[in-house]
Structure 1
Amino acid sequence: MRVMKWSMIALAVSAAGTSQFAMASSQDDSKGFLEDQSLTAKTRMEYMNRDYKNGASNPSSGTSGYRQDTGVSELLQYKSGFTQGTVGVGLDAFVMGSAKLDGGSGRRGNGLFANDSDGNPEKTQSKGGAAIKFRLSDTVLKYGQQTVASPVFSTDDSRLLPEIATGTSITSTEIKGLELSAGRFTALSKQTGMGRDSIGGVSDGFDNGKGLTAANIFGATYAFTEGFTGTFAASDVDQYFKKQYVNLNYTLPMSDTQSLNFDFNGYRTRGDKRGDLVDMIGDGTTGVDNNVWSLQAAYSVGAHKFTIAHQRSTGDNGYYYGVDGNGTIFLANSIQISDFVGREERSWQARYDINMTSYGVPGLSFMTRYVKGDNIKTNGLGEGKENEWNAESKYVMQSGPAKDLSFRLRFAMYRSNGAYSGYSADNNDTRLIVEYPLSIL
């Protein structure tokens, strides 16, 4: 499940909008391969427990009423600068690994670790990769292993380690306020997968045993004004589906301490071959043809933010993603457990955030939200309904040797009726995430 962030790509383009077309490009400012290099380390510890309620057992093992794992991961990332000249050349590389601190076969299934041949969580995992990159003016071409943040192809980083895609990407900010991107990806490894093609598709893998599937993507984001941006993106995941995505994000300043923000997101998905075999909730309904949209409004005043959102899904089935990355769901009501994207589903959200900096505790924040969904169409099981409540607290160290060390506590309570219990059993989800980013070079 992806927790929607406020239009990451739009923010990036707003920042890029200060550059001038064909004037003082990024490549002109290059200092060199080693001179602009960086090396960072990110240590993450995560505890996750899903406690199943109302008689449900752990769907992954069936031997207990809960899932529980604890692990630690390390992600080292090296990014070179670009060589000087008309065309700059550089290299990005990473090494990552995880180690199990707690968790057994009867409690598996949270997605922190892969399972060995005996069904037990792996004790350790590791992986490395690299990508070569070229820059001409303000256009960057990259080939190799990389993370991706397109609305139609997005690698997920919600567990110990991120998904990694293999392929080619190109990003261009040559024109003021406009960011163009495109890519072709031929492999995708899930967060617990150390191979190139370990993402779960409709059947037994991303290539489904029938030759490698390719995902072709395109995106454009334009900053119309300082507070108004728009994004269009499209993808073609061979033999699965074609998607189109649109986003409009508008911020209206009301004073130095008050503002209104409106965020619209929408997807159109049409299936092809293997995609037509997908059964979203196990009720016998197949296909991936779907339209889904969300509209979110947020009022910020001082340390407080109040948000409401509405989301609707229509089509032959619910919104399907995963084979194109488990982060490919830029919708308001995609939260900790549920995405609220069932067939014909309507959902509403109310959310409250507070930043404690204004109250003398910089780095401390709280959030709570509630989402309710109904009108879910099932195959003869009646109207599906679901609801979820989230609460979250985060603290980031502001200074000292442990500066940027963060502690994040997340809790979710999910419930659905009998008609929709095939999507997810009733459960309470608790997570503690401790993260320490460190800049080495």
Structure 2
Amino acid sequence: MKTRNAAFLMLALSTPLMAAPSSPFFTDSGASILLHNYYFDRDYKDPYNPALKQELREWAQGVTFDFKSGYTEGPVGFGLDLHSMTGLKLDSSPDRAGTQLLPLDSKGRAEDNFTTFGGVAKARFAQTKLNTGRMVLTLPVAYSSPGRLLPQTFQGTTLQSQDIQDLTLMAGYLDRIKFRDSSNYENIRVTPQNGRFIDADSSGFSYLGGKYQVAPNFNASYYHATLNDIYRQDYLWLVHDLPIGPGSLKTDFRWVRSGEDGAANGGKVDNDNLGVVFRYSLGGHTFSTGYMALYGDTAQPYMGRSEPSPTVEGAIATDFLNAKERTWQVRWDYNFAVQGIPGLTAMLWHMRGDNIELPERMGGSGLYERESQAQVAYVIQSGALQGLGIKVRHAWYRNDFTQAATFRDNNDLRVNIVYSWKLW
């Protein structure tokens, strides 16, 4: 596999030398710079445990350069994508470092800066594309989280085909992951939060899936994924839009079935996650309510230091994926464009999970957790700073777990300023 990847990469790297300046390799190329300023402030509410940090607070600047080429001419076109990601420390101290905005040195201090480089060699035949290298992915089963300064990136090979109308087929194999606060690629693991699974390495992650546009207002997705020697997973996602009265109702249903693959975690993975969210949009308002229930003997597994994609996607202090957990949510979103202020949005969101089952040292059974969020965001619509986005989000998280649990009571404040500059 590594030999094939290396040969493919060498071929793609040579294509710019073979392509004429008028080739789509050049004419369809583009480059941009993304600036991401991030302030993170988490205040823990457990002063009874002085051995743990009571606050995490850092400020950092991210700079991402992204180049995407077109494809060379011919039945099979070749191309090359490149990126660099840099994080710069603006404010930190050893007593409040550890927000995952910046990597830590051996003494627990945030590094002044860190940089990572990546690239993808790509080929296209008709509407089928093959990519190999280091990339950002936004799939339900392999997701590069935008929740910190820089996203995770994966190393591997992916295939996507849209040769059949209304159907997108996908497959991939990933063997390494770079965490969002690191410059190094590591083996992929399962998330060990709350003692759910043993923190064991895997030799790789593979997936196969498809998305089908059943009707103009209805699409269905299915994925099968395996984290070698740890878990296998089936993911079904159905989304339906239906006009009702003066507004529209969106139904979002997700089912995730997880089982063991090998014995790296004692051969114990058994979980079904069923969740549904109803969103009714009317004017500038969107009202949402949903319910998610986990069944089986274990929590739902997912790749460590990545993010899952349940119906509470977007929770920032927890994941609501503990064994036996039942979660209710209510949410309100408002778009001020209907008031003549385009680009301004607001959100209020409350989630509560109960019936949680954890190891005895973390509280046992019958536990609960809850998270509330308030958010205001604005994107400048015109002028020299058009596209500049500012988002302020505050979250409050509480549970009745013991001190040994991963998730702790906290108040969380995040301020994000994002600006993308298209070079060409």
Partner residue, 1:376: 356
Q: Please say if 1:391 is aligned against 2:381.
A: no
State the shift of 1:333 in Å: 5.5
State the shift of 1:57 in Å: 5.3
Q: Deviations over 1:149-204 (max 9, x none)?
A: 2211222221111111111101111111100000011111111121121666579x
Contact 1:56 1:426 in 2 (8 A): no
1:25-424 equivalences under 5 Å are 32-55=24-47, 62=51, 64-197=53-186, 213-254=203-244, 258-273=247-262, 275-276=264-265, 287-323=268-304, 326-332=306-312, 335-380=315-360, 381-418=364-401, 422-424=405-407
Distance 1:157 1:215, change over 3 A: same
Alpha-carbon distance in structure 1 between the residues aligned to 2:49 and 2:112: 24
Alpha-carbon distance in structure 1 between the residues aligned to 2:286 and 2:235: 27
State the shift of 1:316 in Å: 1.9
Distance 1:56 1:267, change over 3 A: farther
Alpha-carbon distance in structure 2 between the residues aligned to 1:210 and 1:199: 9
Alpha-carbon distance in structure 1 between the residues aligned to 2:311 and 2:248: 21
Alpha-carbon distance in structure 2 between the residues aligned to 1:377 and 1:328: 19
State the shift of 1:253 in Å: 2.0
Does 416-425 or 406-415 show the bigger shift? 416-425
Q: CA RMSD in A?
A: 2.3
Q: Higher strand share goes to which structure?
A: 2
Distance 1:177 1:430, change over 3 A: same
Distance 1:224 1:428, change over 3 A: same
Contact 2:39 2:58 in 1 (8 A): yes
Alpha-carbon distance in structure 2 between the residues aligned to 1:72 and 1:274: 42
Q: Which structure exhibits the higher relative contact order, with contacts defined as CA atoms closer than 8 Å and separated by 6 or more residues?
A: 1
State the shift of 1:96 in Å: 1.0
State the shift of 1:291 in Å: 1.2
Partner residue, 1:6: none
State the shift of 1:289 in Å: 2.1
Distance 1:437 1:215, change over 3 A: same
Q: Deviations over 1:337-369 (max 9, x none)?
A: 121111101010000000001112110000001
Distance 1:115 1:125, change over 3 A: same
What amino acid is the match of 1:35?
Answer: T
- Share of identical aligned residues, percent? 28
Alpha-carbon distance in structure 1 between the residues aligned to 2:72 and 2:104: 43
Contact 1:249 1:261 in 2 (8 A): yes
State the shift of 1:55 in Å: 2.1
Contact 1:321 1:329 in 2 (8 A): no
Distance 1:84 1:364, change over 3 A: same
Q: Deviations over 1:357-385 (max 9, x none)?
A: 11121100000011111111234434111
Show structure 2 runs of 5+ residues with no match.
Answer: 1-21, 193-197
State the shift of 1:75 in Å: 0.5
Does 40-49 or 264-273 show the bigger shift? 264-273
Contact 2:190 2:200 in 1 (8 A): no
The number of residues matched between the two structures is 395
| TM-score for the superposition, normalised by structure 2 | 0.88
Contact 2:275 2:310 in 1 (8 A): no
Show structure 1 runs of 5+ residues with no match.
Answer: 1-29, 278-285
Q: Give secondary structure in 1 for the equivalent of 2:382.
A: coil
Question: Match for 1:428 among 411, 414, 417?
Answer: 411
| TM-score for the superposition, normalised by structure 1 | 0.85
